[in-house]
């Protein structure tokens, strides 16, 4: 069996903790040949994990290597687009960290480049590979939920501003919790709803807590004067089939418990789906005019959704299969976020432009 030869563009925390272990988990199917980062420290950290790989500060070095068949892009959000497009144009498959891009304009360019190159563009949204998502996808496909017409998606932290990297810098990140953690719960929700087409969105954002130097952040302190993203965002998204999703996301909110879950409202059943943990799924249904609350006991035990995500990418590339999470899904998410941010700024509902044209 031919191995997929892989290069990594970006070797920061997400690459070292998720992407590299994922590739290393299937050594018979893939091999990391190149690692690249502009930061010497990040590159040194990756070298310790893959000492046999060649390293560079210029990603064009790895793209010019004909041996490379696939590339992992794990740079800050502002630097997703160009390495991805360059890799696709060089004939490489690409898995790009979420969000796909800073905005829908960039995401659209990336998707079109993938289509032109005939290569996989996969968005790294690992929650689809976690046990709760796998169980619920099968449950929904069997028709037990009926028509899912409404969902309430929540990714809420009480005090959880990342003090490392560029998470508080809008110019490099594109936004705050909405596109950092909200992207995961919204993608999981849309995945379970069958990806209806978004039509309009209305949103609101706040940054009061994130900028307040008197508020504790147990994750580590940060310069409040450099906090340029929102600390909380909420939105209502309408879809072409009449369904609606309400999304809530925060780095800081005065709430009792942190929440990462989606609640689905269907015509046959409802479900509360958490991202992880024990009893991650509750199902609410009716049979013979009796109401039932059910907790499944056979939710798949996935050790690492990140590893499963990378394995799916590698196998799709080797087998010539479609992208496990196509770039168009990332485009739809970016388009929704664009509309939510514009709505928050204008106070008016905005159209969502998620098409490739």
The verdict on domain 4-127+306-324 having CATH code 3.30.70.360 is no
d(CA 87, CA 62): 9
- What per-residue confidence (pLDDT) applies to 309? 98
Burial 230-254 (b: 16+ CB within 10 A, else e): bbbbbbbbbbeeebebebbbbbbbe
| Interior angle at CA 59, CA 53 and CA 62, nearest 5 | 50
d(CA 126, CA 38): 26
Residue showing tokens 């790294």: 124
Are β-strands 30-36 and 4-9 bridged in parallel, bridged antiparallel, or unpaired? Answer: parallel
Taken in order 21, 22, 26, 27, the sign of the CA dihedral is negative
Calculate the alpha carbon distances from 271 to 24, 135, 185, 267 in Å.
Answer: 35, 12, 14, 11
Query: What predicted TM-score, i.e. pTM, was given to this entire model?
Result: 0.96
Q: Which two tokens stand for residue 340?
A: 């939510």
- What per-residue confidence (pLDDT) applies to 321? 98
- The stretches of the chain forming alpha helices (DSSP H) are 13-14, 20-24, 40-49, 59-63, 81-89, 104-117, 131-141, 170-173, 177-180, 182-193, 305-319, 327-346
Contact at 8 Å (CB) between 35 and 69? Answer: no
Residues of the chain whose pLDDT is less than 50? none
Are β-strands 121-124 and 232-239 bridged in parallel, bridged antiparallel, or unpaired? Answer: unpaired
- Number of other CB atoms surrounding residue 225 within 10 Å: 8
Among residues 303, 304, 219, the alpha carbon closest in space to that of 19 is found at 304
Q: Where in the chain is the domain with CATH 3.30.360.10?
A: 131-301
- Number of other CB atoms surrounding residue 223 within 10 Å: 9
- What per-residue confidence (pLDDT) applies to 1? 61
Contact at 8 Å (CB) between 329 and 321? Answer: no
CATH assignment, 131-301: 3.30.360.10
Contacts of 262 (CB under 8 A, 6+ apart): 151, 152, 153, 154, 185, 188, 189, 192, 272, 273
Q: Where in the chain is the domain with CATH 3.40.50.720?
A: 4-127+306-324
- What per-residue confidence (pLDDT) applies to 86? 98
Contact at 8 Å (CB) between 29 and 57? Answer: no
Are β-strands 281-287 and 290-294 bridged in parallel, bridged antiparallel, or unpaired? Answer: antiparallel
């Amino acid at each position: 069996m031919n191995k997929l030869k892989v290069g990594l563009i970006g070797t920061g925390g997400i690459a070292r903790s998720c992407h590299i272990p994922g590739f290393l988990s299937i050594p018979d199917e893939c091999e990391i040949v190149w690692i690249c980062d502009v930061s010497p420290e990040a590159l040194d950290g990756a070298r310790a994990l893959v000492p046999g790989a060649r390293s560079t500060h210029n990603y064009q070095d790895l793209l010019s290597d004909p041996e490379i068949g696939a590339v992992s892009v794990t740079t800050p959000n502002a630097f997703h687009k160009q390495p991805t497009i360059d890799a696709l144009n060089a004939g490489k498959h690409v898995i790009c960290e979420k969000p796909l891009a800073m905005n829908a304009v960039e995401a659209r360019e990336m998707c079109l480049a993938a289509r032109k190159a005939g290569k996989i563009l996969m968005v790294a949204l690992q929650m689809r590979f976690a046990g709760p998502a796998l169980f619920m996808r099968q449950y929904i496909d069997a028709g037990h939920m009926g028509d899912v017409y409404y969902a309430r998606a929540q990714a809420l932290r009480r005090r959880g501003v990342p003090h490392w990297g560029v998470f508080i810098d809008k110019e490099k990140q594109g936004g705050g919790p909405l596109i950092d953690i909200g992207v995961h719960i919204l993608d999981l929700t849309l995945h379970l709803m069958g990806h209806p087409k978004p039509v309009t969105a209305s949103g609101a954002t706040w940054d009061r807590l994130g900028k307040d130097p008197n508020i504790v952040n147990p994750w580590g302190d940060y310069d409040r004067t450099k906090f340029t993203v929102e600390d909380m965002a909420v939105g209502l998204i309408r879809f072409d089939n009449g369904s609606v999703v309400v999304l809530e996301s925060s780095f800081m909110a005065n709430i009792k418990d942190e929440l990462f879950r989606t609640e689905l409202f269907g015509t046959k059943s409802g479900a509360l789906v958490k991202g992880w943990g024990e009893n991650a799924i509750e199902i609410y249904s009716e049979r013979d005019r009796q109401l039932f609350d059910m907790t499944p006991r056979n939710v798949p035990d996935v050790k690492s959704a990140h590893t499963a995500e990378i394995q799916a990418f590698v196998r799709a590339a080797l087998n010539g299969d479609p992208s496990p999470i196509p770039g168009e899904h990332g485009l739809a998410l970016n388009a929704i976020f664009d509309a939510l941010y514009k709505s928050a700024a204008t106070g008016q509902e905005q159209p969502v432009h998620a098409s490739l044209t």
